[in-house]
Structure 1
């Protein structure tokens, strides 16, 4: 009996590891100069044909064009193993073409999986797209200009309509376009991944595009473009049931972004305990401009240092279609039930808004941002605003690309500016100024049911008001502590304004 059991266990073990293959057994050289694409693909094909397993990359440099990952295959990059992207653009394929938010055809990739299940990339090794070198070769033969040709360059990793995806432990370097793009896939785990990708345009870190049941944790991202970006480039599958925690994010654009491409909903997304630093655009940018419903999004416990504009919340009506022939234009979407709490931010003095502002919230006429709660928010700002700037009219930009600079270069409030909002709750908000600013701490234009409670703000000599309401129907203002003095605490303008209730502010000696 014991002998039979041992034989059975031995057979099971053999079957469990029989499909594991080594890319060198299929002719991969790992010398960094020989193109190993064919050998790597043969190893993957053999592995999946036998029922799946690990495709092992020992230490070495594996030069490659497009590699297709297939069912039940995990690429295991051992220590000092490096998959090196070819600098010849003709070595890459586009298996699932689409158009990005700027109207550029994209989708080529170094590593790609399409309609696969139970796949992964794991280990201590790395993948390097050699983005700058590839671009240098590309522009020698395609001279149409960067704005038109960048989309031809490959993403580092594309996961398309897959189920059961694990990316763990590996490092992703220097993509020629987006670093990693996950499209309409389910059951995704991204864990302990390091991304360093900059040097060419559009180096997004992680793009989660219409995916569900996603966990992202303990990752470190330094990106030339958006670091963590949620998209829905198709109307047929929402970004839903997503948990993100313990990320470090650095970006030349946005750190946490949702909705540059926004056709299907963004729902039930929870992001927490992230550190954002040295980010040259928005810290948190939540957007829906192509018909998506953005709802039940919770973000908490975020720190930001040297971030140009801490937050932008936008509902717009650009209404672009990204997959031509597969989708049709949608009506304006909705923005509802968003909670952002426990955020501490140090805003950069050198910002795209001059002087800097903390938070922008804006819908469009006839379409309000609804039921947003900001709680326990503390932001340090440079100041510098004038009394004249406090009455600057911000463009509606109804159908424009959703960006901070779209509404700039000036916002009339230094703290929070809100327009076309309903059910806005702002609790325990603190703003610190490094220099005097004569703009209000808060302005609402075309709002309804607004609550401001327990604020601590600064006011500079010559400030017209701390809070200004323009055509606001129903507001409560209470529990304010003001450092300094202003001509008025709350100022109400517009024929539509009514039902505004305020309690007295507590004034204390100013720091400035």
Structure 2
């Protein structure tokens, strides 16, 4: 074979490096007939621009300044939807202008999947710029209910998400604003290599206004976003058992939510692994700051959440391992066995809890597995909780329902829990290190209760001044506990009360409890050797 000349080799190299970009052609949607007057329906024109750009090899589809009314538009490979400053993609209020390219059933059993901007089985897609995508959610709902007579709990699923990205590779969403979805705002399903940065979401006014739903995605980065949502703000899901949420890094988010700010679950069939969340600010959130929920078979493991500030948040932390065991794509999936929660660390948290909460009087942290399935290896470290207090002696003996197969929500465990600080049940290897509580009012409930636990550690905690409580800490059927270096400012009948004939090996070391006369109180069914004192 004749040797290639230098100039020919150079030409081939340039072509190989450039790839399809040599044939790419950026387009403007107005060149295909789109009109930005806010009333002309531009679905067909925008889709023609996207299709033409794709056929030419890919590139940017520009949306210029103006208000462009549209129904469903579908992105394709190598397409960047560029929203210029002043550009608005405005969702139609006619529900028939939307398509469902990937139907599925969400956690409440409702068929969903319609969307305004959608990409399914694509690669190298981007949405960027200073413009806005607005779903007109409240107006669309008002139009829908004129003809859809079903109950709201059923008909909401027919309303479109604002953005759906399904089984796509190399996804970038940067700089844009996503406003007022008619359902979930953005849903990323089984995608790989996702980069979301400086996105602003304001989505309130109708039910189910989730902000970001990361569903079975891998290699995800989310940074410096601002989310105000009527429902969960940042929510990880696995609505399929076939692909885990894995290798995810989140930082620098501001989150305000009508439900949970940071949530893993509820839809939870496949694992959630190797997730790091840090440097987030959560405020005015009405149903949980941090919520980890495996109820459909997921293994939640190797999770680290830290450097989080919460202000006016109802119930700062909920961790739940349950057995609802739902299936969301019944034609593609099968029911999973009960999952696990293990090797989770939540640290460096400062939370001012709201004075009113789902459970009254309020509590700070709720942790519960189910009988025979413990939450394992959970560490809570360097946490400050400012709580309302107000619990009574009767509240301290409240029995909390197991609710094994129920939807996992804070209210599921109502009407209240018997500890004001941390209540934990069905746990193994729980570590509480440097936890500080402050109270607005006296509370007669224990600061910490553990029911059915193994190998519990509580170290260097600071308990505020209270008077009249029966115990500061109560252990019920706990086999192995080490309580050390904890400071109690107030008075109580006992520092630690131990109950249940399964309790054993409770060790107390170097605790400072100057106003408490009795270090340990044992229930009648326990022997004196249960506790080892310093």
Shorter-chain TM-score tier: over 0.9
**CA distance in 2: counterparts of 1:162 and 1:9, whole angstroms:** 28
> Which residue of the other structure, out of 19, 32, 39, is the alignment partner of 1:33?
39
Q: What is the match of residue 86 of structure 1?
A: 92
Corresponding residue number in structure 1 for 2:256: 250
Q: 2:460 is matched with which residue: 423, 429, 454?
A: 454
Task: Please give the alpha-carbon distance, in whole angstroms, between the structure 2 residues aligned to 1:286 and 1:13.
Answer: 44
Q: Which residue is 1:67 aligned to?
A: 73
The structure 2 residue matched to 1:260, chosen from 240, 245, 266, is 266
Q: Select which of 334, 343, 367 maps to 1:328.
A: 334
- Confirm or deny that 1:157 pairs with 2:163: yes
Distance (Å, rounded) in 2 between the aligned partners of 1:14 and 1:110: 28
Cα distance in 1 for partners of 2:402, 2:245 equals 27
Shift of 1:495: 0.5
Distance in 2 between the 1:406 and 1:483 partners? Answer: 33
When residues 407 and 320 of structure 1 are mapped into structure 2, their CA distance, relative to the original with a 3 A threshold, is same
Distance 1:317-1:14 versus aligned 2 partners, 3 A rule? closer
Partner Cα separation in structure 2 for residue 477 and residue 388 of structure 1? 26
CA contact (8 A) 1:244 1:271 kept: yes
Q: CA deviation at 1:29?
A: 0.7
Tell me the residue number matched to 1:469: 475
* Cα deviation 1:218-251 (Å, max 9, x = unaligned): 0000000000000000000000000000000000
Q: Which residue of 1 aligns with 2:530?
A: none
Partners of 2:23 and 2:56 within 8 A in 1: no
- Counterpart selection for 2:113 from 104, 107, 111: 107
- Tell me which residue corresponds to 1:95: 101
Q: 1:459, 1:486 within 8 Å by CA — same for their partners in 2?
A: no
- In structure 1, the gaps of 5 or more residues are none
Residue in 2 that maps onto 1:53: 59
Q: Distance in 2 between matches of 1:19 and 1:403?
A: 50
Where 1:24 maps in the other structure, the secondary structure is: helix
- SS of 1:475's equivalent? strand
Q: CA deviation at 1:331?
A: 1.1
Residues 355/109 of structure 1: CA separation in 2 closer, same or farther (3 Å cut): same
TM-score between both structures, scaled by the size of structure 2: 0.93
Deviations 1:36-72 (A, max 9, x none): 0000000100111111100001101110000000000
Whether the 8 Å CA contact 1:438–1:459 is kept in 2: the answer is no
- Measured against aligned partners, the alpha-carbon deviations of 1:381-418 in whole angstroms (never above 9, x if no partner) come to 00000011101100000000000000012000000000
Instruction: Say which SS state the counterpart of residue 393 (structure 1) adopts.
Output: coil
For residues 50 and 14 of structure 1, do their structure 2 counterparts lie closer, same or farther at Cα, with a shift above 3 Å needed? closer
Match of 1:357 in 2: 363
- The CA deviation at 1:507 is 3.6
Give secondary structure in 2 for the equivalent of 1:41: helix
Is residue 2:417 matched to residue 1:380?
Answer: no
Judge conservation of contact 2:21–2:57 (CA < 8 Å) in 1.
Answer: no
**2:219 is the alignment partner of 1:213:** yes
- CA distances 1:76-98 after superposition (whole Å, capped 9, x unpaired): 00000000000000000111011
Task: Give the Cα separation in 1 of the matches to 2:73 and 2:21.
Answer: 26
The answer to which of 453-462 and 94-103 deviates more is 453-462
Contact residue 495 and residue 513 of structure 2 kept, 8 A: no
Of 490, 499, 510, the residue aligned with 2:505 is: 499
**Match of 1:405?**
411
Paired residue secondary structure (2:227) = strand
Assess, with a 3 A threshold, how the Cα gap between structure 1 residues 266 and 14 changes in structure 2: closer, same or farther.
closer
Residue 198, structure 1, aligned to residue 173, structure 2: no
> Which of the residues 153, 164, 169 maps onto 1:147?
153
> Computing the radius of gyration over CA atoms, which structure comes out larger, 1 or 2?
2
Question: Are 1:183 and 2:175 an aligned pair?
Answer: no
Query: Runs of 4 or more off by more than 3 Å in structure 1?
Result: 8-18, 507-510
The answer to whether the 8 A contact 2:424-2:451 is kept is yes
Count of aligned pairs: 508
Determine helix, strand or coil for the equivalent of 2:389: coil
Give 1:124's match in structure 2, choosing from 120, 130, 136: 130
* Conserved 8 A contact 1:445-1:472: yes
Q: Structure 1: how far apart are the matches of 2:22 and 2:378? A: 51
Name the CA distance, whole Å, in 2 between partners of 1:274 and 1:509.
38
Rate the CA distance shift 1:459–1:323 in 2: closer, same or farther, 3 A: same
Q: Label 1:397 to 1:14 Cα distance change in 2 as closer, same or farther (>3 A).
A: closer
Structure 1 residues 483, 17: CA separation in 2 closer, same or farther (over 3 Å shift)?
Answer: farther
Distance in 2 between residues matched to 1:16 and 1:394, nearest whole Å: 65
SS of 2:419 mapped into structure 1:
coil
- SS of the residue corresponding to residue 371 of structure 1 reads strand
| Residue of structure 2 in register with 1:174 after alignment | 180
CA deviation map 1:261-287 (0-9, x unaligned): 000000000000000000001000001
Question: Partner of 1:437 in structure 2?
Answer: 443
Q: CA deviation at 1:134?
A: 0.0
For residues 372 and 101 of structure 2, what CA distance do their matches in structure 1 show?
40
Q: Could you say which residue in structure 2 is the equivalent of 1:276?
A: 282
Unaligned runs of 5+ in 2: 1-5, 517-534
C-alpha contact 1:17 1:53 (8 A) present in aligned 2: no
- How far residue 481 of structure 1 moved from its aligned partner, in angstroms, is 0.8
> Which structure 2 residues correspond to residues 416-427 of structure 1 after superposition, within 5 A?
416-427=422-433
SS at match of 1:120: strand
* Residue 290 in structure 1 maps to residue 318 in structure 2: no
1:317 aligns to what?
A: 323
Distance (Å, rounded) in 2 between the aligned partners of 1:250 and 1:66:
28
